[in-house]
Chain A
């Protein structure tokens, strides 16, 4: 159990670090696209580790004590992880697309292939 706790703490630490980097990037980057880079990648990765900590804890208790209620926690966390992976990337794509259609220019951009393309 002590090993499981340590593993959970390590996962929580990594997760908090990357979520912090994501939040920090949101303030530091110049425009909506670069900010989206920070928030999608870092918060997804950070949240994966936070959920992994939950999975480790609940799976450990489930395997040792056989408490069925812990299995609910474990399986639901895994499903939440899958949903997070799919929806976070898709949501970021939708927001970036909407930003470009409403005329938001990428700051400091070298090239913009999408510029001037007619909306369908």
Chain B
């Protein structure tokens, strides 16, 4: 079984490494100091299990997982963190609160070893860290891009993905529209259509179309259709 450790503190990685020694069937293939390296190593080695810290440079452990198509099993290792605690409850195989004992560690690992069908980690609104209302982490080719939400013009539904439009083109993210609708600031991002979420800063005009239909005009020149419910919601947020 291949294992990767992702933690920004060398000593914290050291303790996991030390505890791993007693498991001959667990083979440490990489250790990483941040999420960028983490993504690279996980894609390269395809591990079965990762030990993952939450608070890390640039992107959090959760944001890192979002960038991986089929995330492996995850055991979180973190110090007291009220947001992470909430998220762990439903989703991770286990979580280890630093500092943790060898016994506690063994128990977590035995859960992975003894588990029959693999349960994929579920990243939903509940695992959204406080950062996710401020930024979105996306992948473009080999590069990882941290997008501050201010730079996002709008979101468009695209099969299982969402297209995130910015001045530099669009990025794909495997998430649902309702995820963004729930995590982003509802006064700035409005779901104006089943397939669209609009950043109000980008809105220049609302024009009537035939019958009761309306269309929104964006700074970038895009014409975005508004559903009837979306039009009503938009008006109420704008206070008109």
A binds B: no
Q: Which residues of B contact A (CB under 8 A)?
A: none
Q: Which residues of A contact B (CB under 8 A)?
A: none
